[in-house]
Amino acid sequence: MAIVKSGQVGDFNGKIGQAVIAKWRQLTVGRSTPRKSTKKASEEQLDIQSKFKLVTSFVSRIGTTIALGYRNSAGNLTPQNTAVQYHIQNAVTGGYPAYAIDMAKVVLSNPRMLNDIDAASSYVMSNVVDNRVTITWVPKFQVFIERTMQTDLLLVVFYNVTENAFMSAYAEGPRMALSSEFIVPQDRPTDVIHAWAFFVSANKKFVSKSTYLGLVQA
């Protein structure tokens, strides 16, 4: 890194030839552009890159849901980075280069213990009728976490694999309603659609761990 004297380039930030000029601590500095590595990636590197690309592509497309579901992530990682790390370690199946995501192991909401609320003890999703499904849930026999409220809202996420499209929606009523109807993002009866659900507090500060509801059945 070299210090560029005042007047040599004027007020400039950017690239000149093979040099990059930028401000750093009130100084104008220059450095050479990084050279691309000519070394071929190893099989292990390609393996890691393949998993990373698969998971980041999946997670980034539901960024709003991940930001809510992982908002209380521990450490210095962002919600998205935490979700990527979790799914690389737990939800990737198959072998290089044919990796896939095991939808049953996808977790869209994974709160820390101090920032979570109860999920339902069970969920039931009906078959599709006129592009709609009804989801019912059974509350736990007792509230295990004091932040759990009857006003909590159920958030359901659908993923149409055939169309590679996500859709999310809140239940029409709160936790105490025990049932709600949802529109399904389905263009054809043969579309493959997965669904997940988790509860969100009315103030959006707390969430339950998500539950995989399974495939939507026509």
Q: Which residues contact 68 (CB under 8 A, 6 or more apart)?
A: 109, 155, 200, 204, 207
Predicted confidence (pLDDT) at residue 5 exceeds the cutoff of 90:
no
Q: Is 140 a residue whose pLDDT tops 50?
A: yes
> Which pLDDT does position 9 carry in this prediction?
44
Above pLDDT 90, what percent of the chain? 65
Q: Under CATH, which number does the domain 44-215 receive?
A: 2.60.40.10
pLDDT of residue 12: 45
Per-residue pLDDT tens digits for 47-97: 899 999 999 999 999 999 999 999 877 678 899 999 999 999 999 999 988
- What is the residue type of 44? E
Element (H, E) at 75: none
What is the pLDDT at residue 72?
77
Cβ neighbours of residue 166 closer than 8 Å, sequence gap 6 or more: 61, 62, 157, 158, 159, 160, 185
Which SS3 state, helix, strand or coil, does residue 89 take? helix
Percent of the chain residues past pLDDT 70, beyond the cut: 78
Q: Name the band, by pLDDT with cuts 50, 70 and 90, for residue 37.
A: low
Q: Boundaries of CATH 2.60.40.10 in the chain?
A: 44-215
- The structure tokens 């999946």 sit at 58
Give the tokens for residue 162: 């055939």
pTM of the predicted protein model? 0.79
Task: Please check the confidence at residue 23 and state whether its pLDDT lies above 70.
Answer: no
d(CA 182, CA 153): 13
Let me know: does 62 contact 86? Beta carbons within 8 Å. Answer: no
Please answer whether residues 55 and 82 qualify as being in contact, where contact means their C-beta atoms are separated by less than 8 angstroms: no
Euclidean distance between CA atoms 166 and 196, whole angstroms:
11
123 pLDDT tier (thresholds 50, 70, 90): very high
Instruction: State how far the alpha carbon of 18 is from the alpha carbons of 15, 87, 117, in Å.
Output: 7, 39, 55
**pLDDT beyond 70 at 155:** yes
